[in-house]
């Protein structure tokens, strides 16, 4: 994997790769063990970057450099706030969309399993819509669980990538897998303790 990394970004001196490795490992560990608490910050950061990029592009095109800076700043603020508050809905919608597309493919909408009848019928679209809606509801209900698994896996991948810099061979994959498993377990334990703490606070609250 290290040779592929050198090939992708050959312009960066090799002396910099250890720093890249350390940063990748650090971010990976944070995601694996604290991803449930970090994901909104990360999605908000993505919103800031996307909003600033779009605002700068459109502002520069229609109002020059100064207009681009102003719209870029506005876009960064709006994008950050928007992604922070609707990230859960947005991610769930994205997963539901992929579920709908996968359902249409499985139903042979292009002449596969159902053949020509699928092309001349609205049934596949209705089925896909129902599947997508069900997946969306499930994602909303179990969103925190999905985030825990997703961030732990992403963290493990980053750790694996970072360790390749130090030429540890297949050991990096084993370490990454262990981090994923431990990270998922650790985050679920922490969520469970938070819930128990909230229950205790409610029970300890004086009656009105």
Residue 48 pLDDT > 60: yes
| Model confidence band, residue 178 (pLDDT cutoffs 50, 70, 90) | very high
Whole-number average pLDDT of the chain: 80
> Rounded to an integer, what distance in angstroms lies between the CA atom of residue 144 and that of residue 137?
13
pLDDT at 208: 58
Average pLDDT over residues 50-65: 84
Among 111-115, 163-167, 193-197, the range scoring the smallest mean pLDDT is 111-115
Average pLDDT over residues 10-36: 81
Closest CA to 90 of 56, 49, 40: 40
CB 92 within 8 A of CB 140: yes
| Model confidence band, residue 118 (pLDDT cutoffs 50, 70, 90) | very low
pLDDT at 8: 47
| Model confidence band, residue 177 (pLDDT cutoffs 50, 70, 90) | very high
The residue ranking higher by pLDDT, 78 or 8, is 78
The residue ranking higher by pLDDT, 18 or 6, is 18
pLDDT at 35: 85
Helices 143-164/123-141 angle, 10° precision: 80
Residue with tokens 């001349």: 120
The proportion of the chain whose per-residue pLDDT surpasses 70, expressed as a percent, equals: 82
């Amino acid at each position: 994997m290290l040779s592929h990394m050198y090939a992708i970004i050959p312009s960066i001196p090799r002396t910099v790769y250890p720093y890249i490795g350390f940063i990748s490992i650090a971010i990976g560990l944070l995601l694996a063990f604290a991803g449930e608490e970090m994901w909104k910050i990360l999605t908000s950061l993505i919103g800031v970057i996307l909003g600033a990029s779009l605002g700068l592009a459109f502002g520069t095109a229609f109002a020059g450099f100064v207009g681009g800076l102003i719209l870029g700043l506005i876009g960064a603020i709006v994008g950050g706030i928007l992604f922070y508050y609707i990230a859960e809905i947005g991610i769930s919608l994205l997963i539901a969309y992929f579920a709908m597309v996968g359902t249409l493919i499985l139903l042979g909408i292009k002449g596969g399993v159902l053949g020509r009848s699928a092309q001349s019928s609205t049934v596949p679209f209705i089925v896909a819509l129902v599947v997508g809606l069900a997946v969306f509801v499930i994602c909303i209900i179990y969103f925190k669980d999905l985030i825990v698994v997703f961030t732990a896996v992403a963290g493990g991948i980053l750790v694996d990538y970072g360790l390749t810099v130090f030429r540890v061979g297949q050991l990096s994959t084993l370490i990454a897998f262990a981090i994923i498993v431990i990270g998922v377990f650790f985050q679920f334990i922490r969520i469970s303790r938070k819930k128990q703490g909230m229950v205790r606070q409610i029970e300890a609250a004086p009656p009105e």
